[in-house]
Amino acid sequence: MKNPTAAMLVIGDEILSGRTRDANMHYLAGELTEVGITLAEVRIVSDQRDAIISAVRALAAAYDTVFTSGGIGPTHDDITADCMAAAFSQSIDVRSDARAILQAHYEKAGTDLNEARLRMARIPADAKLIENPVSAAPGFIIENVHVMAGVPSVFKAMVASVLPTLTGGSPLISKTLTVHRGEGDIAGPLGALAEAYPGLSMGSYPFQRDGKYGANIVVRGQDVALLDEAMTKLSEAFA
């Protein structure tokens, strides 16, 4: 049986402008791999309502689970929550459960829960809250979409809250063989081997060091015995 599938929607003009380097996709991919969920697609969209709504609808329809990052903070351009509500035809307002979490957090910090901070308690009507042990403001789950913060430390904490609730499959195992030859030399034998092992994924990732070419051949799969067999044949082919 195939593993469950997932997609990620990264939201934010700062990512597309190059001002901010996204670290959340790399982290999520590693975590999902370990629990046997295949991250099959990642999209990045700007802080535009129509773009967010269109993208999340498409991804939610195509994959078992969707993760979003970004756009749930206290500023005017944090529009993700409203877009999620619109995408799934739900009402949205300040919810008492989310407000109580923020109230307790800011009272403890001696900070005012002002109108801007209260924006982070605006949650779609039927959504389930995602715990945020870092900065309190919750994410939420709406349909099969997990809406989470863009700040990496908060995103990681929310992923840790969510993963135990998801059904995974068999973890994907990865093995690597480094070959000190150019890709043009290894392409033929590698292609033939990949065809002989359709149950495995084989990729070639070239590098250049000290003026010499090489490649890391990465083989991925769920069957350890099959992986070992393929790696043995790879080693023999590129001895």
Give the separation between CA 118 and CA 110, rounded to whole angstroms.
15
Give the separation between CA 61 and CA 47, rounded to whole angstroms.
21
Q: What is the pLDDT of residue 201?
A: 92
Task: Tell me the average pLDDT across 163-187.
Answer: 91
Q: Mean of the per-residue pLDDT values for the chain? A: 95
**What domains appear along the chain, each with residue ranges and CATH number?**
5-165 (3.40.980.10), 173-237 (3.30.70.600)
Instruction: Decide: 200 and 230 in contact? Cβ < 8 Å.
Output: yes
Task: Assess whether pLDDT exceeds 80 at residue 1.
Answer: no
Q: What is the pLDDT of residue 130?
A: 98
Q: What is the pLDDT of residue 171?
A: 85
**164 token code pair:** 């135990």
